């Protein structure tokens, strides 16, 4: 029986997959060209890691090799990741040259020490060549620049012979596909690139329909149903990221499958909790490793702020690095405004947990030993307002050390996200010891953080923000009410961090608000941080 797969490219004979034929056809058209006699294009295949770039291009290679319509072409696909350890440009280019000649059955030329450009001449090649180089940006920047320069020269020389069919030109490098994450786009190539951005191919995430098709396939094979709500949760939490879909699919159908007649939301909750909190995953570990590096860490902490969205600028080195490594994503608003967001709730939860425990993993005493907690928690309910008062007292009592090593902005103020982390872990420790559960939710993918609490059969929602001004305050009330309505709750707490607040302002703003459209009651509360 087939399996869900996240350990490299899935095998069509053994694993669940999505054909993505439209992308395969588009790549073939670019490489072959609209009119093959005129030549194909030199293109880049790009996307953050674990998005299926290699699988798409393997399908392109198999189609070109096996279909009689393309027998006029040779196709060579070479993975380059193992060359990233080589520190000599000459050794890298020599290795690639040898591999190309070997794949084409021209090992007799290996010892002739041909220049890299010369192996693409007519006579060395017998047919026009489609060359696919995988993990191209794993190479040294100098090697990338040298190879790109050779392709540029060939590209121009072939254009000078545009009056001849592709197969009769001096150079037979018909089409090139460079599969990569970052450098192939020319971002770091100071000498430029022959690859017109119009001939790049971006690999998107799976759509909901594509994700659903894999689980429906599993249902047919296993005769076990998957609740539609489970499929929706898998898609919503991953936003269709292929590597994460394969991993969660494996956890649901194998590791945490109770073999009931149906995989339920309870099964999802168990598998998802393990994925967020307990299980290693190479893709996620790589994302966290990139996110925690300076100076990229600063951008992530700013992104977790709730005051305003951050503009997406691809030429910003930090933005580019984090985007191409799958740590952040692009959000387009009104077709003209572009902002940074997290790629999925799952990734945002993993990063939020990482930073929270990195900063406050070893918590101190939550409250003095003889504190009366009866007004904060009982056997059947919570008083969120009084719990937040305990948290505020905790910050004030421990501020001499609690924020001593906390990351700070350029103005030396502690990042707002640090207080989010602290509140989350405080509530987590406070409520879990009484049998409750606390988890963060990220409804927008930007800085907005909602802390969800389940205790004694009831759910509570806390929307966390910083107090900015009166306008943002009223905007936050409406947002909190709509979010509570979406969750099916009648009451939501709006937690506002502020450095200081006088009693007059507290009485003005800490007033319960009933949303006219939804009827949800919003209880705004301040938490003083300084």
Residue 46 three-state SS: strand
Mean pLDDT of the region 305-313? 77
Last residue of a domain, one of 152, 173, 202: 202
Q: Please indicate, yes or no, whether residues 373 and 234 belong to a single structural domain of this protein.
A: no
Q: Which residues contact 40 (CB under 8 A, 6 or more apart)?
A: 30, 31, 32, 33, 130, 166, 174, 175
pLDDT of 500 strictly over 50: yes
CB 527 within 8 A of CB 497: yes
Task: Pick the closest to residue 79 from 18, 27, 139, 30 (CA basis).
Answer: 139
Residue 479 inside a domain? The answer is yes
Q: Please indicate, yes or no, whether residues 163 and 66 belong to a single structural domain of this protein.
A: yes
pLDDT of 471 strictly over 70: yes
d(CA 188, CA 199): 18
Residue 267 inside a domain? The answer is yes
Alpha-carbon Rg for the chain, nearest whole angstrom, is: 28
Residue 330 inside a domain? The answer is no
Q: Please indicate, yes or no, whether residues 264 and 413 belong to a single structural domain of this protein.
A: no
pLDDT of 95 strictly over 80: yes
pLDDT of 184 strictly over 60: no
Q: What is the CATH number of the domain that holds 137?
A: 3.40.50.300
Model confidence pTM above 0.95: no
Q: Please indicate, yes or no, whether residues 174 and 268 belong to a single structural domain of this protein.
A: no
pLDDT of 186 strictly over 80: no
How many separate domains does the chain show?
A: 3
196 — pLDDT class (breaks 50, 70, 90): very low
Mean pLDDT of the region 85-93? 91
Length of the chain: 530
Residue that wins the pLDDT comparison between 309 and 393: 393
Q: What is the DSSP string of 160-227?
A: TTTTS-GGGSSB-EEEEEEEESSGGGTTT-TT--S--GGGEEE-PPPPHHHHHHHHHHHHHHH--EE-
Q: Please indicate, yes or no, whether residues 217 and 197 belong to a single structural domain of this protein.
A: no
Q: Please indicate, yes or no, whether residues 225 and 271 belong to a single structural domain of this protein.
A: yes
Q: What does the DSSP 8-state code read for residue 136?
A: G
For the stretch 352-390, pLDDT in tens is 888 888 888 766 788 988 999 999 999 999 999 999 999
Q: What confidence score (pLDDT) does residue 512 get?
A: 95
Residue 2 inside a domain? The answer is no
pLDDT of 195 strictly over 60: no
Residue 5 inside a domain? The answer is no
Mean pLDDT of the region 471-489? 90
Q: Please indicate, yes or no, whether residues 507 and 364 belong to a single structural domain of this protein.
A: yes
Residue that has been written with the tokens 């700070």 in this structure: 408
Residue 38 inside a domain? The answer is yes
Last residue of a domain, one of 279, 303, 337: 279
Q: Please indicate, yes or no, whether residues 46 and 183 belong to a single structural domain of this protein.
A: yes
Range(s) of the domain holding residue 417: 360-528
Q: What confidence score (pLDDT) does residue 78 get?
A: 95
Q: Please indicate, yes or no, whether residues 54 and 178 belong to a single structural domain of this protein.
A: yes
Residue 237 inside a domain? The answer is yes
pLDDT of 296 strictly over 70: yes
Q: Please indicate, yes or no, whether residues 112 and 223 belong to a single structural domain of this protein.
A: no
Q: Please indicate, yes or no, whether residues 470 and 521 belong to a single structural domain of this protein.
A: yes
Q: Please indicate, yes or no, whether residues 472 and 387 belong to a single structural domain of this protein.
A: yes
Residue 167 inside a domain? The answer is yes
Tokens read off for 315: 């030429």
Last residue of a domain, one of 202, 235, 254: 202
Spell out the long-range contacts of 96-102 with Cβ–Cβ below 8 A and sequence spacing 24 or more: 96/133, 96/147, 100/76, 100/131
Mean pLDDT of the region 442-450? 70
Mean pLDDT of the region 488-511? 92
């Amino acid at each position: 029986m087939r399996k869900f797969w996240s350990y490299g490219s899935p095998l069509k004979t053994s694993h669940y997959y999505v054909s993505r034929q439209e992308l395969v056809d588009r790549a073939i058209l670019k490489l072959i060209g609209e009119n093959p006699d005129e030549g194909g294009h030199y293109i880049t295949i790009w996307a953050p890691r674990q998005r299926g770039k290699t699988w798409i291009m393997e399908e392109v290679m198999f189609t070109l090799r096996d279909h009689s319509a393309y027998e006029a072409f040779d196709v060579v696909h070479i993975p380059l990741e193992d060359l990233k350890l080589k520190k000599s440009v000459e050794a890298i280019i020599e290795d690639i040259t040898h591999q190309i000649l070997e794949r084409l059955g021209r090992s007799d030329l290996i010892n002739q020490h041909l220049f890299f450009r010369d192996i693409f001449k007519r006579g060395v090649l017998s047919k026009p060549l489609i060359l696919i180089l995988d993990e191209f940006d794993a190479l040294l920047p100098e090697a990338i620049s040298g190879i790109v320069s050779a392709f540029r020269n060939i590209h121009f020389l072939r254009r000078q012979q545009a009056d001849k069919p592709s197969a009769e030109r001096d150079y037979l490098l018909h089409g090139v596909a460079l599969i990569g994450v970052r450098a192939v786009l020319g971002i770091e190539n100071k000498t430029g690139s022959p690859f017109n951005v119009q001939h790049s191919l971006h690999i998107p995430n799976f759509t909901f329909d594509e994700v659903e098709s894999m689980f429906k396939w599993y249902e047919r094979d296993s005769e076990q149903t998957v609740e539609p709500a489970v499929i929706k949760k898998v898609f919503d939490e991953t936003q269709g990221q292929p590597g994460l879909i394969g991993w969660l699919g494996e956890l649901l159908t194998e590791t945490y499958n109770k073999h009931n007649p149906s995989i339920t939301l309870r099964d999802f909750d168990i598998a998802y909790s393990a994925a967020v909190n307990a299980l290693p995953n190479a893709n996620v570990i790589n994302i966290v490793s990139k996110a925690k590096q300076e100076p990229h860490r600063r951008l992530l902490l700013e992104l977790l702020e709730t005051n305003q969205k951050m503009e997406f600028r691809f030429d910003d080195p930090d933005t580019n690095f984090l985007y191409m490594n799958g740590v952040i994503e692009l959000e387009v608003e009104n077709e003209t405004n572009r902002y940074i967001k997290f790629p999925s709730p799952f990734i945002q939860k993993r990063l939020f947990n990482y930073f929270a425990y990195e900063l406050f993993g070893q918590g101190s005493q939550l409250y003095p030993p003889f504190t009366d907690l009866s007004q904060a928690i009982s056997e059947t309910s919570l008083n969120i307002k009084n719990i937040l008062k305990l948290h505020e007292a905790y910050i004030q009592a421990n501020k001499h050390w609690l924020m001593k090593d906390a990351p700070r902005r350029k103005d030396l103020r502690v990042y707002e996200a640090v207080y989010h982390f602290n509140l989350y872990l405080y509530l987590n420790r406070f409520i879990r010891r009484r049998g409750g559960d606390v988890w963060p939710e990220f409804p927008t993918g930007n800085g907005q953080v909602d802390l969800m609490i389940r205790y004694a059969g009831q759910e509570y929602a806390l929307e966390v923000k910083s107090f900015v001004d009166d306008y943002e305050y009223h905007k936050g009330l409406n947002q909190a009410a709509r979010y509570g309505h979406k969750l099916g709750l009648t009451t939501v707490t709006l937690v506002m961090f502020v450095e200081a607040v006088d009693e007059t302002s507290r009485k003005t703003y800490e007033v319960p608000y009933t949303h006219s459209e939804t009827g949800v009651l919003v209880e705004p509360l301040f938490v003083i941080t300084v």
